[in-house]
Amino acid sequence: MANIMKTSKRQLTFVADLNKCIGCQTCTVACKKLWTTGPGQDYMYWRNVETTPGKGYPKNWQTRGGGYKGGELQKGEVPPMIDYGVPFEFDYSGRLFEGKPGRVRPSPTPRSAPNWDEDQGSGAYPNNHFFYLPRMCNHCTKPACLEACPNDAIYKREQDGIVMIHLDMCKGNKACVKSCPYSKPYYNPQTQKSNKCVGCFPRIEKGIATACVAQCVGRAMHVGFIDDPMSSVNKLVRQWKVALPLHPEYGTEPNVFYVPPVLGPGMEDGVGSVSDQPKIPLSELQGLFGPDVQEVMKMLKMEREKKLKGQPSELMDTLIGRRSADMMLSPLT
Ligand code: SF4
């Protein structure tokens, strides 16, 4: 092990409600504009939203290895640049003002991009389905990136558990890129160092929510400290236990959690009547969020029913989030 992992005193935690994310990419753009406009960062989306099922960003990130198996750090692969999508440009001035022949086309011709397979999903009509999966660094409790770095350049902040790269110490050997099973550190070819989500730490230090959460138009995102019993993240993860980590089997103990999507029942093929099977096969959700997803779905359906009947449901009220302040670092102690 290269680094000694210290536990942080507090842990910044995120919850995404997949029943509310509409895939508008506002969080993606908010993050992009704030953090990755520098040299070599064009292709990086620290925050992205991908259609699921789908190949994701970078393409096929779920098959690249990394994380832990039986407590042992696993070596993964560095995704090829084409799987992130090579940034392209439009030669507007050449075509429109300098008389160059041909139509305005992106160059180089795009062969991949974040959310390349947008809204394709899977399944056959009438049971085709998809949902949106917002992704970011999980600021893991056991960060594989930190453990893999041979230069001790990655650390976990004591005050909030945000996982950071110390750029002065990073030598750009990509061990973090290989070892993160979520493909969330990015190698910067211009600076020859790795970059990753910094958890909007300057905002957090002032008690302001991260840009991705603050800008979410669907009020699908929650952020707060997990040890704060009044925070919505504590309620959803610890009290109601309806928010689950993505791929818990990767072993890094993520601190981004997901309320799984409840799409309702599918239809009987060729008959048109409602089937007794869920529209999204349970196995698909279990493959993403682990075996607890079945119980969580039952709980969500039960509380939703209560609300529909006009009965009180603290869980549904927390998920609805009538006051956005209740979903973001509130109350911050
Ligand atoms: Fe490190 Fe990846 Fe975990 Fe982020 S998601 S802390 S980059 S292992």
Task: Give the model's pLDDT for residue 265.
Answer: 85
Task: Give the model's pLDDT for residue 5.
Answer: 59
* CA of 154, closest atom in ligand 1: 1
- Is residue 98 classed as helix, strand or coil in its secondary structure? coil
* CA of 138, closest atom in ligand 1: 5
**If you measure from the C-alpha of residue 115 to the centroid of ligand 1, how many angstroms do you get, rounded to a whole number?**
20
Q: Give the global pTM.
A: 0.94
SS3 content of the chain, % helix, strand, coil (to 5): 25, 20, 55
**If you measure from the C-alpha of residue 11 to the centroid of ligand 1, how many angstroms do you get, rounded to a whole number?**
14
Using most ligand atoms within 8 A of CB, pick from 252, 256, 258 the residue to mutate for ligand 1: 252
Q: Determine contact, residues 130/52, Cβ cutoff 8 Å.
A: yes
| Burial category of 102 from C-beta neighbours within 10 Å (exposed 0-12, middle 13-18, buried 19 and up) | exposed
| Spatial CA neighbour of 135 closest among 117, 154, 151, 115 | 115
Tokens read off for 15 = 């919850």
**Average per-residue pLDDT in the chain?**
94
Local confidence band at 285 (pLDDT 50, 70, 90 cut-offs): very high
Q: Determine contact, residues 170/61, Cβ cutoff 8 Å.
A: no
The domain made up of 12-85+113-327 is a member of CATH 3.30.70.20: yes
Q: Determine contact, residues 45/28, Cβ cutoff 8 Å.
A: yes
| Across 269-287, average pLDDT | 87
Residues contacting 238, CB < 8 A, separation 6+:
226
Q: List 49's β-bridge partners, or say none.
A: 134
Least confident piece of the model among 124-133, 148-157, 243-252: 124-133
Task: Give the model's pLDDT for residue 126.
Answer: 86
Local confidence band at 321 (pLDDT 50, 70, 90 cut-offs): very high
Spans of all domains in the chain: 12-85+113-327
| Spatial CA neighbour of 41 closest among 155, 157, 175, 198 | 198
* Angle (CA) 185 189 192, round 5°: 80
**If you measure from the C-alpha of residue 128 to the centroid of ligand 1, how many angstroms do you get, rounded to a whole number?**
32
User: Ligand 1: does its nearest atom lie under 6 Å from the Cβ of 3?
Assistant: no
Using most ligand atoms within 8 A of CB, pick from 62, 145, 196 the residue to mutate for ligand 1: 145
Q: Whose CA is nearest to atom 4 of ligand 1?
A: 137
- ipTM of the complex as predicted: 0.91
Tokens read off for 280 = 């999204």
